[in-house]
Amino acid sequence: MTSYSRSPPYSSPSPPLPPSINRISADTAYRLLNNPIDYVDTYKIAAEILDWLKTAPVSRDWFAGKILNRTKRTLSDIIKHPRDWKDLNHRTEYFIKMYNWLNMSEEQRLQIMHCYGARPSK
């Protein structure tokens, strides 16, 4: 009887970062994304994320899964139909992460994208 071993699915390494950009750890990325805040204008953040995603070097699916830990459908729902901050229950965490993402430098975003294995989608 012949035994075949199955190799894990192919995954290519993340593209190299430009030399001017340092690496970031997953712990640091988590802290940056989850920096606590008291209030967010959810309508403004939703509109800004929607605009950012139009030209982002990653897919909505990647952003939803890696940054928000949710599905693309949940991301679409919260950015297309935002509620007032005071009316949010558990979804405040999504807006906190999106707010923090938008307030990061482009270099920090690239570091996090690299850390979480982003593949250019465009």
Residue 76, domain CATH: 1.10.260.40
Taking 80 as the threshold, does the pLDDT of residue 18 lie above it? Answer: no
Query: What is the C-alpha separation between 23 and 25, in angstroms, rounded?
Result: 7
Does residue 60 lie within any of the structural domains?
yes
Does residue 107 lie within any of the structural domains?
yes
How much is the pLDDT for 118?
82
Does residue 34 lie within any of the structural domains?
no
Taking 80 as the threshold, does the pLDDT of residue 1 lie above it? Answer: no
How much is the pLDDT for 6?
40
Instruction: Write out the residue range of the structural domain in which residue 61 sits.
Output: 39-115
User: Which pTM value belongs to this model?
Assistant: 0.79
How much is the pLDDT for 90?
79
68-108 pLDDT, tens per residue?
999 999 999 999 999 999 998 878 999 999 999 999 999 99
Distances (CA, A) of 82 to 29, 35, 40, 99, 115: 25, 21, 11, 13, 29
Structural domain count of the chain: 1
Question: Are 115 and 26 in contact, with CB atoms under 8 Å apart?
Answer: yes
Does residue 5 lie within any of the structural domains?
no
Does residue 61 lie within any of the structural domains?
yes
